[in-house]
Structure 1
């Protein structure tokens, strides 16, 4: 039996890089590949696929070359590199077993060969174990989990399921010859590389690919109108949608070959099928001498895997080199009050909080590079009450604190975190948090946190529990220590409701209480043969308490206005909360009486309910700053439009005459500044932002005019416009009459570059929105959800 210093299992990017580096160093090695060709996973990429070399900021360490190129060119260059380094590769050598210990491992292949090795590097990846569609009909003949050559398919209706890079690349590859629909269970492509994100959004924008957002596979069945085809039935927020298809290609990722890896003695941290082995900073598993790199270690990107292949050989040889991202982390940690190496500081950061402890250490490095680690002076504002910011904070050292009226200061010490409510709900910050003594924090942007929440279940669980605890504490038991709420939190749950779905209905039995975490609801009473909306409740409000305090019979119907998530409490848990703080039960009872009084007024005057219903249809249920015009006061002067144009370089951001009206209240075409802005989803250049005061605005320098925001906005408040040429001055216009007057535009006909424009609520104007301040009669008003509820109430009382 041959004995090698290093045996590498799997000739993916990491395995090839490791074996090639061993070869160039003259180290005894063998590279075992189960298929007839190197890099089997890349070989299975669709023909002509463009392979990206992300992350671009990371340098490459490997004797093999790698730059962004087609699949074919990259495979050919790797083959030449393996030959040039005299890498000892054995094809058709699939590994079936590993026995022994460090210095004396015995590897067995499926053909019965035995190979000895002092150290083993596993680079076997996970792509051989694709996730299957979890729905009836997934076993039909034309449901597949791989796409080899898009050119093989012509004039077919194809559904591609998934929102990752593989799904996007398959969809784009098929789109030239087929009608393609991509199915995304989320409302954005959060996990895609930037290049793929730009490509898929461009294809959707150009009409080359259809996209079904927030959709999950329901079932696949034969098409009754054409049995040679299928119907792919999707579950969406508005109900079932059936798509006629010839073929379904599911790219749902893959799970580790756990049974095989465990047979080598390698342990996994939990029973989750998607979990990965726990590794040291030098990629060593719990089995001394067996190292894991690449996707099986949590790093699926090619450049990262190739770097690991180079580094792991150095580690095996006893060389203590720094990882390739070390200089980037050194820069990220500048200014911190620690005398620690990068490796020591990463461990220190990850051990600081339960949010971080279940993140793969290698993934954590990338997470930290996407975040800001900073020391903040005592008294610095970390986040400000009322602002629409959505970054997430973890305290690494020292403390941060918030002052709560009637309660005093609440401190976030090492490991504490905050910002989850704005991150999840999309609403304003509910408190100002200040840095205390010795405060070091990690501030993470929303996109990075969303990616983390979707990939690490334990992080989502910890964050959800914290959200529930803090929401219940602030709403019902502000004077009770958190430690006394553990049982209630464990008994509580999160429930999701689609837009238009009834959470419960009038006359039914039920005593659960709901606290709104995301979205909004309306309360509806059945009056003879029609419904009357009696109240509107946004994030932070609760409902159902009357049933818990009374006989359990629902006196109204509660319906989700938009996709809504609630914290659901049983009657017993709710009543136990009320007993913890003196006087809280009386406060809730008073709240019930107040709500019943308002609902009685609305029920007695159905016009108020009709006005509320009108507001819901017009998007005020998800808006945070909506322009309304009281037509009983409006004189039609158009000062609002002219002032808007003057403020925005000649491009008015509102259309006063357009839009719907009801009971003298008019909703013109103008941005609602939604709590979860539709326009911000899938903006390729990330040009749409939310200011700290809530204004949603477009960075004109970054906008590329793709039109995605125009299509995503359900209220038609965004348009693509050319930039107006410089206008003549007012005096010139008065004297000559040439050129547009105040509020007019002067476009350069030769300029055809269009960019997206929309209302930004005059965020940089000290006097506030020009449309409101220019109105001579006070007809124009901008309202938040609480204010428009007050408006409805005032109309009912007239």
Structure 2
């Protein structure tokens, strides 16, 4: 018998169940189709005992089905009760294999052969049934799994969990129960956990600090192989930032995310935002797909958080019922964002206008647009207004929604500009490299700009492959333009970009080897490289190349012969451009040949000079090379933007630098002069390097670490003392210190003798602090380059001999050269 309903809901996860609950509360005929034998298979498949959080906290819940933070079991039990109380029409063991039709005339075919007719369809099937899987050699073993039902089933095993999302972290924590005896290691590809909830990350660190598990960031599986003599039966070979590691392995649990059941959804006529496997369906702000009457909600729509899903389930039934005035809960915030716009549009109109205008956002769904816009800023600029200034610090990306900008490409001549039209982006080089702005940019006409902060951009790139692909292509195109100016035709640029390849190099790994034959050119996207030449049986240091620059072009004029070795100074991302294309272009274009030949002239002169003088300057060159390596490779200055160094030929050990630092920072010095390492005449004390991509910012739950206008990395008052920044910093420059009491005023000091001096804590507190008797709470403290203090860093100002210097990367080589004179 054909069943007819107003609304057919496919999938009984949080979104589908909430939709069914709302339909039941409104008295609408409906059916909730679930292919398993129980409600909410999404939650049912969570590991047993998992604690489920109710985030975002500020978002109200609109569902008729109750939801609050609690265990997996308590939530499932509560939902079963609510579904029964609301008299939802549930059909279990009902696997939908096809959806056909349009609004008012849908037919759904079940695996059993049963047909259901519906006026509307709400698709809430989630993505858990389509997990991303490992493709590495050896991962076809039966103990490689993509789901963890009950962590208590596993004892005395070496378990590797792959994936640093919430699921991976929760699986690792569940398996790390000391009573079970498992040795648990979590592998995370990135250098932090940007997609995970704060509470999960905190729990992960606490478990690591307690010795219950371990995790390795910037790591990925290479292969699984049988162990050798003295090893476990199976070994996971892992690529880490410090080289290959071999980990004993009895079980692998890979939590790599999942992709939509695209074939099934597209068969119903639904279009997606792009061709990528992980792209999302095209939806209206009211969750309607490109098939009229077919709505998509939940994880399949790009929103995996339970509260979001349940609100969507409630709202979509309201929309179907004719409640078109219902607005998403974030609408007032977005309305405020566009309040100053010269044109008046609704939030939905603004979202579509921005998405359709800005090319990199083409694949972003309206729902994703709402999320990242709340973290962004809108700027309205008049013609000639400054947007960014050359050498400013900044890692946000600007999208030109309306209007255009002019880029001042020549610092000496502001009239030389390159236009960037509406719909494009700029600032992507700062995002990728972490270096200062490379040019001044002004509005060329009345312009509307969307400024997207670094974290929001990275999250967008991670979740929408099309955004990442376009962003990388644009940045490579801009850098090719910087190398060759306007001499390359559009067709040639496209050919170069099509052949470009993004490569990753570890510290010390060679991009180019002296003596080999190749004409490929390498653009340094992030990190830095050193250039060396083998002379007289020694590797002689030639130069240091920062992100945003390029190497390898000299081989085009040496018949493809590499004249020097280029190695990554730190972990670096590099774009390789195919040399064969450049060789052909140079042979076809005399003007291009002449221009590029001029670019390499200085590097050629340096090589020739060192080669000619190698005998007479042997000891000088050795010193220069050794000092440069000490600064760039051993002391981490290759990723610094500002570092404190001390000339030991001038230092008298007075410790004025430390005292001055303490005087301006509540009695707590942010540097340790005696600590650190020395080479030749240079000493690098323990003090913040203000890295291009600060490690301390990797995971700061309250977002308390920022980069100031002069490049300083500082910690504000939102610090909660979690210690993540201290753990991530590889240079030991962050301290966890007791929060000092309120400082007395000058009047209190003069009249009542409060505190040892005006603006300092009282003497008892200082004494307790020095004795180590201070009590929590604590906060993280580090060098902030004396931001806001007239005259600059106090450590430098207080040095009586000029021994203390704060230097930038451009100064490193000149400093190294001083030691060779």
With over 3 angstroms needed to count, the CA separation of the structure-2 counterparts of 1:157 and 1:588, relative to structure 1, is same
- Determine the C-alpha separation between the residues in 1 that align with 2:382 and 2:770: 50
Q: Does 1:787 align with 2:795?
A: no
- Determine the C-alpha separation between the residues in 2 that align with 1:470 and 1:512: 18
For residue 235 of structure 1, the aligned residue among 220, 229, 239 is: 239
Residue 297 (structure 2) aligns with: 293
- Determine the C-alpha separation between the residues in 1 that align with 2:636 and 2:623: 19
Residue 595 (structure 2) aligns with: 584
- Determine the C-alpha separation between the residues in 1 that align with 2:208 and 2:805: 36
Q: How does 1:125-144 map to 2 (within 5 A)?
A: 125-144=126-145
Secondary structure of the corresponding residue to residue 621 of structure 1? helix
Q: Does 1:612 align with 2:636?
A: no
State the shift of 1:162 in Å: 0.6
- Determine the C-alpha separation between the residues in 2 that align with 1:308 and 1:139: 38
List per-residue Cα deviations over 1:386-432 (Å, max 9, x = no partner).
22221111121233333332462333332121110111100011123
With over 3 angstroms needed to count, the CA separation of the structure-2 counterparts of 1:564 and 1:323, relative to structure 1, is same
Q: Does 1:520 align with 2:528?
A: yes
With over 3 angstroms needed to count, the CA separation of the structure-2 counterparts of 1:435 and 1:747, relative to structure 1, is farther
Q: Does 1:50 align with 2:58?
A: no
Mean Cα deviation higher: 252-261 or 147-156: 147-156
For residue 715 of structure 2, the aligned residue among 698, 701, 724 is: 698
Mean Cα deviation higher: 218-227 or 686-695: 218-227
State the shift of 1:454 in Å: 1.4
State the shift of 1:125 in Å: 0.9
For residue 549 of structure 1, the aligned residue among 544, 557, 570 is: 557
Residue 153 (structure 1) aligns with: 154
List per-residue Cα deviations over 1:89-130 (Å, max 9, x = no partner).
011111122344443333222222222222211111110111
Structure 1 contact 655–669 (Cα < 8 Å) conserved: yes
- Determine the C-alpha separation between the residues in 1 that align with 2:239 and 2:657: 43
State the shift of 1:79 in Å: 1.7
With over 3 angstroms needed to count, the CA separation of the structure-2 counterparts of 1:161 and 1:641, relative to structure 1, is same
Residue 453 (structure 2) aligns with: 445
- Determine the C-alpha separation between the residues in 1 that align with 2:756 and 2:66: 64
For residue 373 of structure 2, the aligned residue among 360, 368, 376 is: 368
- Determine the C-alpha separation between the residues in 2 that align with 1:776 and 1:742: 27
For residue 628 of structure 1, the aligned residue among 624, 640, 645 is: 645
Structure 2 contact 738–774 (Cα < 8 Å) conserved: no
With over 3 angstroms needed to count, the CA separation of the structure-2 counterparts of 1:203 and 1:378, relative to structure 1, is farther
Secondary structure of the corresponding residue to residue 756 of structure 1? strand
Q: How does 1:465-480 map to 2 (within 5 A)?
A: 465-477=473-485
Aligned-pair Cα RMSD in Å: 2.9
- Determine the C-alpha separation between the residues in 1 that align with 2:380 and 2:218: 39
Secondary structure of the corresponding residue to residue 521 of structure 1? strand
Secondary structure of the corresponding residue to residue 470 of structure 1? helix
State the shift of 1:346 in Å: 1.4
Q: How does 1:328-343 map to 2 (within 5 A)?
A: 328-343=333-348
For residue 664 of structure 1, the aligned residue among 681, 686, 701 is: 681
For residue 352 of structure 2, the aligned residue among 342, 347, 352 is: 347
List per-residue Cα deviations over 1:305-341 (Å, max 9, x = no partner).
2222222223333432333332232222222222211
State the shift of 1:772 in Å: 1.2
List per-residue Cα deviations over 1:199-242 (Å, max 9, x = no partner).
33443455443121111111122333578753221112332111
Residue ranges of structure 1 left out of the alignment (5+ in a row) = none
For residue 395 of structure 1, the aligned residue among 369, 393, 400 is: 400
With over 3 angstroms needed to count, the CA separation of the structure-2 counterparts of 1:498 and 1:228, relative to structure 1, is closer
Residue 695 (structure 2) aligns with: 678
Secondary structure of the corresponding residue to residue 355 of structure 1? helix
Structure 1 contact 724–747 (Cα < 8 Å) conserved: no
Q: Does 1:654 align with 2:660?
A: no
For residue 387 of structure 2, the aligned residue among 379, 382, 385 is: 382
For residue 774 of structure 1, the aligned residue among 798, 803, 815 is: 798
Q: Does 1:8 align with 2:16?
A: no
Structure 1 contact 658–668 (Cα < 8 Å) conserved: yes
Q: Does 1:753 align with 2:777?
A: yes
Structure 2 contact 379–448 (Cα < 8 Å) conserved: yes
Secondary structure of the corresponding residue to residue 359 of structure 2? coil
List per-residue Cα deviations over 1:493-515 (Å, max 9, x = no partner).
33321221111212111111222
With over 3 angstroms needed to count, the CA separation of the structure-2 counterparts of 1:709 and 1:60, relative to structure 1, is same
Structure 1 contact 651–724 (Cα < 8 Å) conserved: no
Residue 786 (structure 2) aligns with: 762
State the shift of 1:794 in Å: 3.5
Residue 418 (structure 1) aligns with: 426
Secondary structure of the corresponding residue to residue 134 of structure 2? coil
Residue 468 (structure 2) aligns with: 460
List per-residue Cα deviations over 1:240-272 (Å, max 9, x = no partner).
111113321111111222233333343445442
State the shift of 1:586 in Å: 4.4
Secondary structure of the corresponding residue to residue 639 of structure 2? coil
Residue 176 (structure 2) aligns with: 175
List per-residue Cα deviations over 1:316-370 (Å, max 9, x = no partner).
3343233333223222222222221121121111111101111122211112122
- Determine the C-alpha separation between the residues in 2 that align with 1:551 and 1:437: 47
Structure 1 contact 61–307 (Cα < 8 Å) conserved: yes
Secondary structure of the corresponding residue to residue 638 of structure 2? coil
With over 3 angstroms needed to count, the CA separation of the structure-2 counterparts of 1:316 and 1:620, relative to structure 1, is same
Structure 2 contact 719–779 (Cα < 8 Å) conserved: yes
With over 3 angstroms needed to count, the CA separation of the structure-2 counterparts of 1:248 and 1:435, relative to structure 1, is same
With over 3 angstroms needed to count, the CA separation of the structure-2 counterparts of 1:140 and 1:446, relative to structure 1, is same
List per-residue Cα deviations over 1:669-718 (Å, max 9, x = no partner).
1111111112221223322221121111222x222333322232222222
List per-residue Cα deviations over 1:17-53 (Å, max 9, x = no partner).
1111111111111111111111011011112222222
Q: Does 1:715 align with 2:731?
A: yes
State the shift of 1:656 in Å: 1.4
- Determine the C-alpha separation between the residues in 2 that align with 1:267 and 1:282: 16
Residue 571 (structure 2) aligns with: 563
- Determine the C-alpha separation between the residues in 1 that align with 2:336 and 2:794: 44
Structure 1 contact 499–563 (Cα < 8 Å) conserved: yes
Residue 19 (structure 1) aligns with: 20
State the shift of 1:619 in Å: 1.0
Structure 2 contact 273–363 (Cα < 8 Å) conserved: no
Residue 638 (structure 1) aligns with: 655
Structure 1 contact 160–182 (Cα < 8 Å) conserved: yes
Normalised to the residue count of structure 2, the TM-score between the two structures is: 0.90
With over 3 angstroms needed to count, the CA separation of the structure-2 counterparts of 1:634 and 1:608, relative to structure 1, is same
List per-residue Cα deviations over 1:593-623 (Å, max 9, x = no partner).
3432575468732121111111121111111
